[in-house]
């Protein structure tokens, strides 16, 4: 009986925390003026809010086969949601013409795939070009 109450309380706290993150996300999306700030608020709220709601569902469900499915769903969302938000933000940075007015950004022509993968050769090439 006591363990059921503890499990219920843990599930309710996780779900309430998830709802709080969603509310903060909604306020951030509507309050921020700059699109990358909005994307950051949406990505954090989505990842943490959905994760906490699903952890609350895990507590309510107990240890059964559907809880394993919920656990896989949590892992999938925590891996894909930040990556998707990063890709949309990078698209915004690369497609906006006057991004330098808002924040310092390296020109897209100077960004190469090799710069991201191998830090040392990129430094050598920049030193050779200077």
- Which has the higher per-residue pLDDT, 120 or 2? 2
Cα-Cα end-to-end distance for the chain: 73
pTM above 0.75, yes or no: no
In a domain, 106, yes or no: no
Domain containing 80 equals: 1-100
In a domain, 86, yes or no: yes
Question: According to the model, what pLDDT value does residue 18 have?
Answer: 92
Q: How far apart are CA 49 and CA 77, in angstroms?
A: 11
Q: What is the CA radius of gyration of the chain?
A: 21
In a domain, 128, yes or no: no
In a domain, 95, yes or no: yes
Domain count, the chain: 1
Tell me how crowded residue 13 is: count the other CB atoms within 10 A of its CB: 14
- 77-110 pLDDT, tens digit per residue, is 888 888 888 888 787 777 766 666 666 656 655 5
In a domain, 73, yes or no: yes
- Which has the higher per-residue pLDDT, 44 or 16? 16
């Amino acid at each position: 009986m006591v363990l059921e109450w503890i499990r219920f309380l843990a599930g309710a706290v996780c779900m309430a925390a998830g709802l709080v993150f969603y509310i903060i996300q909604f306020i951030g999306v509507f309050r921020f003026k700059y699109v990358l700030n909005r994307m950051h608020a949406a990505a954090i709220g989505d990842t943490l809010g959905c994760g906490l709601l699903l952890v609350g569902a895990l507590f309510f469900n107990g240890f059964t086969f559907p809880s394993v499915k919920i656990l896989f769903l949590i892992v999938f969302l925590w891996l894909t949601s930040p990556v998707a938000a990063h890709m949309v933000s990078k698209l915004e940075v690369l497609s906006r013409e006057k991004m330098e007015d808002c924040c310092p950004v390296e020109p897209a022509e100077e960004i190469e795939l090799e710069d991201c993968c191998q830090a040392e050769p990129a430094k050598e090439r920049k030193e050779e070009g200077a």
